[in-house]
């Protein structure tokens, strides 16, 4: 079987996976909408290393650490916002050939990661997991250092597109750690895993049909599965 046919088969397998239940559209609470707009800026801010400069005139948002893992071309930035006592992780989206290769590495593989206790048979996108695993240690080290200097701060994750998928995996890892992870916001995030994985994320974020929980996946009209 040629590479093109193999790729087609893998994509078809994902497309044939059990579809997630589509919820009826509801009006977004104004307070939630404000947060969605607020955190949407961080993936873009994290696409390139801005140095140590403050991001606003009041110096309330500053860069704690910039991560650039060349083996997978995966970037992330850890920001401090003292006005809200938050450590915010920004993860940018697809940019370049290496990221595209990550996107199309769609083979579902078992979800194995430190501190993860996903019941059942959790399968996730191989490329997304490889990208997250390549920066996981650096992200955790950066958060730990930031918390040592800023005790009591909460941790929030924000990612766009590919970065949203990585943020999905990061949320599971950090929510299980001693990091006071209070929320995650993703924008245009593709599907990361199977139903068992989605249910696991829902359990961590306390999301249900009646409760929004602490994990927000914003797709608007982008047609993401």
Q: CB within 8 A of 166, min separation 6: which ones?
A: 74, 76, 91, 128, 131, 132, 135, 159
**Quick one: average pLDDT of 55-65?**
76
Tell me the CATH class for 30-149+185-225.
alpha beta
**Quick one: average pLDDT of 198-217?**
91
Domains of the chain, by residue range, sit at 30-149+185-225
**pLDDT, greater one: 29 or 23:** 29
Tens digit of each residue's pLDDT (9 = 90 or more) over 114-138: 788 888 899 999 999 999 999 999 9
What is the Cα–Cα distance from 148 to 142, expressed in whole angstroms?
A: 10
Report whether pLDDT(13) > 80: no
pLDDT of 24: 67
For 31-40, 70-79, 113-122, 151-160, which range has the lowest pLDDT when averaged over its residues?
113-122
**Quick one: average pLDDT of 7-30?**
59
Report whether pLDDT(74) > 70: yes
Tens digit of each residue's pLDDT (9 = 90 or more) over 146-196: 999 999 999 999 999 999 999 999 999 999 889 999 999 999 999 999 999
What is the Cα–Cα distance from 103 to 178, expressed in whole angstroms?
A: 30
> What is the percentage of the chain residues whose pLDDT exceeds 90?
69
Neighbours of 45 (CB within 10 A): 17
Report whether pLDDT(1) > 50: no
pLDDT of 60: 80
Report whether pLDDT(71) > 60: yes
Report whether pLDDT(201) > 80: yes
Residue the block writes with tokens 């996730």? 124
* Under 8 Å between Cβ of 200 and 50: no
**Quick one: average pLDDT of 101-118?**
90
* Under 8 Å between Cβ of 99 and 73: yes
What crossing angle do the helices spanning 162-175 and 195-205 adopt, rounded to 10°?
60
The DSSP element (H or E) to which 79 belongs, if any, is strand 74-81
Burial class (CB in 10 A: 0-12, 13-18, 19+), 46: buried
Eight-class DSSP state of 193: B
> What is the percentage of the chain residues whose pLDDT exceeds 70?
83
What's the whole-number average pLDDT of the chain?
Answer: 87
pLDDT of 190: 96
**Quick one: average pLDDT of 9-35?**
66
pLDDT of 70: 95
Query: Which own/partner contact pairs does 126-133 have at CB distance under 8 Å and 24+ positions apart?
Result: 127/101, 127/102, 127/103, 128/102, 128/162, 128/165, 128/166, 128/168, 128/169, 128/192, 129/169, 130/72, 130/102, 130/105, 131/72, 131/74, 131/102, 131/162, 131/166, 132/74, 132/166, 132/169, 132/170, 132/173
The reported pTM is 0.84
């Amino acid at each position: 079987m040629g590479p093109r046919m193999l790729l087609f088969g893998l994509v078809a397998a994902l497309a044939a996976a059990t579809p997630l239940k589509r919820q009826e559209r509801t009006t977004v609470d104004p307070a939630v909408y404000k947060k969605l707009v607020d955190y949407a800026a961080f993936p873009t801010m994290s696409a390139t290393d801005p140095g140590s400069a403050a991001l606003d005139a009041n110096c309330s948002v500053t860069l704690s650490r910039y991560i650039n893992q060349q083996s997978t071309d995966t970037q992330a930035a850890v920001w401090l916002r003292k006005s809200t006592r938050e450590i915010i992780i920004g993860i940018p989206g697809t940019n370049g050939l290496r990221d595209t290769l990550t996107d199309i590495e769609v083979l579902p593989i078992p979800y194995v990661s430190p501190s993860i206790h996903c019941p059942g048979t959790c399968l996730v996108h191989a490329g997304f997991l490889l990208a997250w695993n390549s920066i996981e240690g650096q992200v955790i080290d950066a958060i730990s250092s930031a918390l040592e200097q800023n005790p009591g701060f909460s941790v929030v994750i924000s990612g766009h597109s590919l970065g949203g998928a990585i943020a999905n995996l990061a949320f599971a890892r950090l929510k299980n750690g001693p990091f006071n992870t209070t929320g995650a916001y993703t924008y245009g995030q593709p599907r990361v895993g199977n139903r068992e994985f989605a249910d696991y994320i829902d359990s961590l974020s306390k999301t249900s049909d009646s409760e929004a929980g602490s994990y927000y996946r914003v797709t608007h009209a982008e047609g993401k599965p």
